[in-house]
Structure 1
């Protein structure tokens, strides 16, 4: 998830209008929308819909807006301009949080994991390290993990009784909904596999964007991006060979590997200029391809 730009200095002109994004109300890192809403939606689709998903979905959406407002507030050194959206979204999250827990109290089982991610992220933002790979990795993990939460909610919190497991796993895989294209991977195994695929894809977008925009002259970032995507493609190959996912997903990850090299290298050696809009459109297409390929042989 890309962090917002550092706010420009206020000119103090009373007649100057600011956009909702500039005032901290609407997130301006548009590339994060898919990461925020695709995993949670897939968790509902795979696990099955229950009424408690409604307040939780709203809580997650408003929480995303709150995260944006808090980031703007911290980056701007607690400038009063951003205090109003922070207060509004925190209050909204509190109300929706109460409704969500009233609908499904067992969601508290996930609270420790998200508390760790949220606290770590806030610390990084306060230290003005919100653009580091560590910060990006944490936010991507949180975005993907919420898919498992909605799956857990949809399947009625059916978990293994093995207490040492830090994450839920069902002992009878066929008992829970959700399966891959061949029905060889079912239940929690399938949900965690979907989460892993989404984690590899969404985290991979971080170095790609960096190598095209802020770190376009950085060779280490370019090498990291290509190596990461090569490893992700290798995982997709092994997964296809084992029958966990199909060859369609492997083909998509090969295309992602090619994309990780094509954009930055053509900028370096051919002088091409890739706009953020072009990269964003490309990622929308790849997001759709990854999701569709999950269920293809």
Structure 2
């Protein structure tokens, strides 16, 4: 959800703005989904320090990505302007897996940045051939909004599972969500304000409710599923 939702938002925002569906944007989304599959399986392979049995899924998804992605790059070479940024994210992610720190805060931040940059690509192709300033304005708004939501989600989930009981993470989560809400209040957008209030309330109430006993992972998972759906709706509706 966290990997694909921002990219999907770019496609849907372009459709909402232009009133039409651009197949190239959906093609870019499919490429990104396969990139995620390669990244996930590749991470397991690197974490195992290149054990053979973890290599085959990487090969399989790599072939699928090449089949879908190479024609895309051939027909739309301008997408390579994003290659340096995503290559940097891939290297950092691979390093985290090799060091077996893929669940660290810095590795999560890298994953969030990669996912949240994708709307610039999918939205750009979704509105093509519309003017570049429009792409930049709307795309950047989606990137920033999703970055606020998804890194906040990282902090919140850590307070519920891996870092349960560590109040430094709880306070950091409160401060992050409070700052996001303040920014959205200042923007004057009612959809984002509603989203900010809902996310801040879950960030305060649930860690306090489970301050003694660590909740089952399904509790955090179900909460974030609802939060992700709410974020998708609110961010999409905020793009007037």
Work out which of the residue numbers 172, 176, 179 in structure 2 matches 1:224: 172
Q: Which has the higher contact order (CA 8 A, sep 6+)?
A: 2
Work out which of the residue numbers 109, 132, 155 in structure 2 matches 1:137: 109
Unpaired runs of 5+ in structure 2?
A: 16-20
Residues 56-109 of structure 1 show CA distances to partners (whole Å, capped at 9, x for unaligned) of 222211111111111111222222221110111122222222111123111111
Partners of 2:47 and 2:99 within 8 A in 1 = no
Work out which of the residue numbers 248, 267, 280 in structure 1 matches 2:191: 248
When normalised by structure 2's length, the TM-score is 0.88
Give the aligned partner of residue 42 of structure 1: 9
Query: Which consecutive aligned stretches of 4+ in structure 1 deviate over 3 angstroms post-superposition?
Result: none
Shift of 1:211: 0.9
Partners of 1:70 and 1:86 within 8 A in 2 = yes
The separation in 2 between residues aligned to 1:92 and 1:191, in whole angstroms, is 28
Does 1:287 find its partner at 2:228? Answer: yes
Structure having the higher Rg: 1
Question: SS at 2:163's partner residue?
Answer: coil
The separation in 2 between residues aligned to 1:111 and 1:201, in whole angstroms, is 25
Give the aligned partner of residue 182 of structure 1: none
The separation in 2 between residues aligned to 1:151 and 1:190, in whole angstroms, is 8
Shift of 1:157: 6.5
Residues 206-236 of structure 1 show CA distances to partners (whole Å, capped at 9, x for unaligned) of 1111111111021211111111111111111
Work out which of the residue numbers 184, 203, 208 in structure 2 matches 1:260: 203
Count of aligned pairs: 233
Higher helix share: 2
Work out which of the residue numbers 175, 179, 197 in structure 1 matches 2:145: 197
Alignment RMSD (CA, Å): 2.0
Partners of 2:6 and 2:115 within 8 A in 1 = yes
